[in-house]
Amino acid sequence: MLNNVVRHYAAYQVPRYTSYPTAADFTLVVTSNEHAAWLRGLDAREVISVYLHVPYCREICLYCGCNTKMAVRDDVIDAYRRALETEIGLVASLVGERPGIARLHWGGGTPSILGADGLRSVVAALGRHFPFENGFEHAIELDPRHVTGTLATALAELGVTRASLGVQDVDPLVQAAIGRVQPVAVVERAVEYLRSAGVTNLNFDLIYGLPLQTTDSVRKTCAVVAAMAPDRIACFGYAHLPRLKANQRRIDEAKLPSQDQRIDQAETMAAELTRAGYMKLGIDHFAKPADPLARASAMGKLHRNFQGYTDDPSRVLLGLGASSISTFADGLVQNTSDVPRYIRAIEAGSLASARGCRVDEDDRQRAHIIERLMCDFAVDLDAIAPAADFHQELSMLAPMQWDGLLDIDGTKLRVTDAGRAVVRVIAAAFDRYRRPQAAQFSKAI
C-alpha cells in the first residue's frame, strides 16, 4: 500500500510526458513555415513512424478526452478521408528523397469509421508516396462494439499487426455511468474475430478513477481481461477536465472516486495483472514477458511517445489528420483540431499546422532525461548532459529524496519502489516550461 507521503505527491497535477516539451507548451509562434522546413530536412536514410488521426465516432462517450466528435453522415466522413489522402500527398511533396515507414498507427476517434474501403484507400495513398519497410508494424485503435468479422478480415488483408481495444471497464453500472454500454460478450466476440482473421497481437486499454468504480469492480475487470489474454494492457487514470471537455460535464462528479480511492484502484490493477503473469512497464503499461515491449524494457530500450510506452526507436513521427502532432529533430508541430479548418487548409494546398514548439539542445537533453526516468526509473544526468548545470533541479528533488521517493548519488538518480508511482512528479523537476499545479494536467495517479 502507498504510504501517506506518496499519496500526498500523487495529488500533484503534472503532465503525462508523452512528449517534451508537452503539447500544453505549444505556441502559435511555430507555423506551417517551420513545419515545411522540417519536412524538407528529413533524412531518407532514417526510417520514420506515421500516425493517422480520425476524429470521428458514431457516439461520444462521457469520459472521453480525445480530439473527436460525433459523425452520423457518411459524406462527412468521406470528405475527411479525401482530405487526409490529400495531406499525405502534400506532405510527401515537401520531402526530398522519401524515408521508409517502419511504424503506422491509426488513432482517434474510431479509425474504423472510415470503413474497410476507406482504410484501404488511405493506406494506398501512403504507399504511393512512401515506401513501407519490410515487416513494418501496422497498429489500429478499435471500438470493440464496431468490430465485425468483415472488418477483422479487411484489417488482416491491410497488414494490420496489432489492434488496441478500448475496454475501459466491464462493470455494467460503470459502463452506464460513462455512456459506454459494452457487454463482455461484445469484447470477447471482437477478440475472436480479430484472432481468427490473423490479427493476434492485441492491446486492451483500461481506465481507473471512473464513476462508480471500486477496488472490487476493477479487480473483476482485471480478471475478465486476463482471461482473454491480450499481449499488452494499458491502465490509465481518468482525467476529469469538464472545463475543457463538454461531454465530461454530463458525468456526475458525486460518483467519482476520491483521490485515495483512485490510488487504491491503480494499485489493485497493478497487483492483479502482475499476479496474472504480466510485467509492469513504466507507470501504466503491462505486457506478457515474451512481448517485444517487455523485451525492450529489459534491454533499456523502452521509449515513450504520444501512443504511450513503445519500442519504437524512430526519432521522426509524422502526424497526419486534424489535431495530430509531428515530431522532428528540431521541433514539434500540431495540426489544427478544427476539422472544417483542417479540410479547408488542405484543399487550398497548405499545411494545416496551427501551433508547435522549436527545440534546442537543452530541450533535447531534458526530453531524454524525462524519458529515461519515465521508462527506466533511473538516469545518469552526466551521461546525457555532461556540460549542463542541474543544481536547481537537484535542489528541487532534495525533499523527494528525504521523503524516500528517489536516491541521488552525484548525478545519478534512481527512483525508489515507493517513488515509481509518482515518477511524473520527479520528472517534472526537469521541465523548464512547467507551470506548477497547472489545471490542464491530470493528477499523478
Tens digit of each residue's pLDDT (9 = 90 or more) over 178-196: 999 999 999 999 999 999 9
- 399 near 388, Cβ under 8 Å? no
> What is the predicted pLDDT for the residue at 137?
96
Q: Which fold has domain 361-443?
A: Arc Repressor Mutant, subunit A (1.10.10)
Residues in the chain where the model's pLDDT stays below 70? 1-2, 435-445
From first CA to last CA, the distance across the chain in angstroms is 14
| Count of residues making up the chain | 445
pLDDT, one tens digit per residue, over 393-434 is 999 999 999 999 999 999 999 999 999 999 999 999 999 997
Geometric angle at alpha carbon 392, from 386 and 395, rounded to 5°: 110
User: What single letter denotes the amino acid at residue 408?
Assistant: I
What is the reported pLDDT for 435? 52
Closest CA to 50 of 324, 260, 281: 324
How high is the pLDDT of residue 439? 45
pLDDT value at residue 62: 87
pTM for the model stands at 0.93
Residues 6+ apart with CB under 8 A from 30: 331, 333, 353, 355, 356, 357, 358
Grid cell at residue 73: 453522415
The DSSP secondary-structure symbol of 250 reads G
Residue 406 — φ and ψ, nearest 5°? -155, 160
Find the farthest-apart pair of alpha carbons in the chain and give their distance in angstroms, rounded. Answer: 61
> CA-CA distance, 111 to 134, in Å (whole number)?
24
Helices 74-94 and 339-347, axial angle in degrees (round to 10): 50
Those residues whose C-beta lies under 8 Å from the C-beta of residue 354, and which sit 6 or more positions away, are 28, 334, 335, 336, 337
CA separation (Å) from 406 to 36, 184, 303, 377, 401?
Answer: 42, 41, 21, 9, 5
Distance CA(407)–CA(415), nearest Å, equals 6
Q: Report the distance separating Cα 165 and Cα 24, nearest Å.
A: 27
Predicted local distance difference test score (pLDDT) of residue 442: 59
Q: Convert the pLDDT of each residue in 152-161 to its tens digit.
A: 999 999 999 9
Q: Is the dihedral of CA 360, 315, 93, 32 positive or negative?
A: negative
Report the pLDDT value the prediction gives residue 437, as an integer from 0 to 100: 46
At CB < 8 A and 24+ separation, what contacts does 24-29 make? 24/433, 24/438, 24/440, 24/441, 25/357, 25/433, 26/332, 26/334, 26/355, 26/356, 26/357, 27/355, 27/356, 27/357, 28/354, 28/355
C-alpha distances (whole Å) from 109 to each of 42, 112, 326 are 29, 9, 18
Secondary structure of residue 336 in the 3-state scheme: coil
**Alpha-carbon gap, residue 215 to 6, rounded angstroms:** 19
Domain ranges, ordered by start, for the chain: 23-358, 361-443
Angstrom distance (rounded) from CA 349 to CA 35: 14
Q: List b or e across 206-218, with b for residues whose CB sees 16 or more CB atoms inside 10 angstroms.
A: bbbbbbbbbbebb
**23-358 fold:** pyruvate-formate lyase- activating enzyme (3.80.30)
